[in-house]
Amino acid sequence: MNTTTFFAAVILSLGLAASQAADKVIFEDSDFSKGGWSEFIEIPGTGGWEVKSRELGELVQGVVQEVTLEGDGGVYLSAGRGNYGSIFRGEGVIYAFRVRNGERDPVGQVDSSGKIDLRIGFDGAFFIYEYRSGDKWSRIGKSDIVGLVPYKAGVSTSSRASGMSNYRVVELESLKGVRFGYTNTPKIPGTPWVVHDPFRPQPRQINPGTVTPRDEPGTPPSDAIVLFDGTHLDAWEDGKGNAPRWTLGNGYFECGKKSGTIRTKQKFGSVQLHIEWAAPAEIKGSSQGRGNSGVFLAGLYEVQVQDNYDNLTYPDGQASSLYGFRPPRVNATRPPGEWQAYDIIFEMPEFKDGNVTKKAKITILHNGVITQHGVEIPGILGHKKTQPYRVHGPGHIQLQDHGNPVRYRNIWIRELKPIR
């Protein structure tokens, strides 16, 4: 087995947990004699190669791990079995690649000999792969990450780390500029976090299974108001009451360049809303620039639409979050290009004499998985700010144009009338 094949086999056997960045060296072990490591794992059939690993903490933004090599070996980051990124040297060549669900994608390679440094880490939304043979770090490339959190870091070697030294886990100042989120925004009522806080814990990413339809849309209930059945946009208008400029496709409609936010012609109060959407299959951008749209209840309360499959962003801006307020319980996003479903139960706020007497409440199922359950909404949701309630009645269901070609299909709604 050659070095490249061996390394894929090594990491496929691992399951790996993720780090709070700080303006200091987080972990350092100059000669691999320090504690904090798991035992070496010897990999049969690889000529004696072994893996040594350590868990990271809760936040991985801006964090890199570095190591000095005199022979063969490397460093990796893994988010579980068959999901990892690595940079390593074998037989005079530095290789960088990522593996997602066992599928290997090369990032780049370069010839190298002598003493070198390698590092791999996160610049906020991507893996970076770099090496240094003098005073300057050179980047082989970058790639999408292979999961959210948790992660493990580690080294791979054929000699129990002999010839490897100066291992460090550190936050780099140069990577802070691409950190997603904000720290200068207002505090969210009832929480220790500010709006779009990058340090808020990330929701765990899961596979939602096949509870909801994926290939073919389902059939609405008999008492539902059908807002889109795949054939026309008669129930929709732009913000000025004109015909929408979104593109009608084969059973779906899609947000186009500068097509504008659209809304239902009819206004709704408390509802059960079913809506299916798909982010672009071709991955472009990261964080909030990837598959971004939004569903607004009563025209005021946003449920975020976002491609968050292996895409870090601030937690209260992830798919099925109550935007700017509450992250989802878990990240149930399917891969880009696949159809996703929201089932939303929304209860209107109630007012008396200009004051709110009952806050709005919402429950969300994302691909059949509960991500918000009976959550009271504290006020009007928005970007980088919080606003108190203002008296309002029923409003339009709105779909946001955020500059990404997001598709929608199979939209229906049931008005929730009081039970007598």
pLDDT digits (tens, 9 = 90+) for 108-149: 999 998 999 999 998 877 899 999 998 899 999 988 888 776
User: What is the predicted pLDDT for the residue at 153?
Assistant: 87
User: What is the predicted pLDDT for the residue at 5?
Assistant: 41
Q: What are the structural domains, with CATH classification, of the chain?
A: 3-178 (2.60.120.200), 204-415 (2.60.120.560)
Q: Which range, of 230-234, 312-316, 373-377, averages the lowest pLDDT? A: 312-316
User: What is the predicted pLDDT for the residue at 56?
Assistant: 77
User: What is the predicted pLDDT for the residue at 369?
Assistant: 95
User: What is the predicted pLDDT for the residue at 211?
Assistant: 66
Q: Do residues 122 and 128 lie in contact, with contact meaning Cβ atoms separated by under 8 Å?
A: yes
Nearest to 177 by CA among 198, 191, 204: 198
Q: Do residues 72 and 89 lie in contact, with contact meaning Cβ atoms separated by under 8 Å?
A: yes
pLDDT digits (tens, 9 = 90+) for 221-241: 889 999 999 999 999 999 899
Q: How far apart are CA 357 and CA 75, in angstroms?
A: 56
User: What is the predicted pLDDT for the residue at 178?
Assistant: 53
User: What is the predicted pLDDT for the residue at 177?
Assistant: 58
413 confidence band (pLDDT: 50, 70, 90): very high
pLDDT digits (tens, 9 = 90+) for 332-346: 999 999 999 999 999
State the DSSP code for 335: P
pLDDT digits (tens, 9 = 90+) for 184-206: 898 888 889 888 887 788 787 77
User: Is the pLDDT reported for residue 209 higher than 80?
Assistant: no
DSSP code string of 209-229: TTSS-SSS-----TTPEEEE-
User: Is the pLDDT reported for residue 38 higher than 90?
Assistant: no
Mean predicted lDDT score pLDDT of the chain: 86
9 confidence band (pLDDT: 50, 70, 90): very low
Q: Which range, of 88-97, 125-134, 146-155, 410-419, averages the lowest pLDDT? A: 146-155
SS3 state of residue 274: strand
User: Is the pLDDT reported for residue 8 higher than 50?
Assistant: no
Cα angle 331, 336, 339; round to 5: 80
User: Is the pLDDT reported for residue 7 higher than 60?
Assistant: no
Note the pTM of the prediction, 2 decimals: 0.74
Place of tokens 């292979």: 146
Report the percent of the chain where pLDDT is more than 90.
50
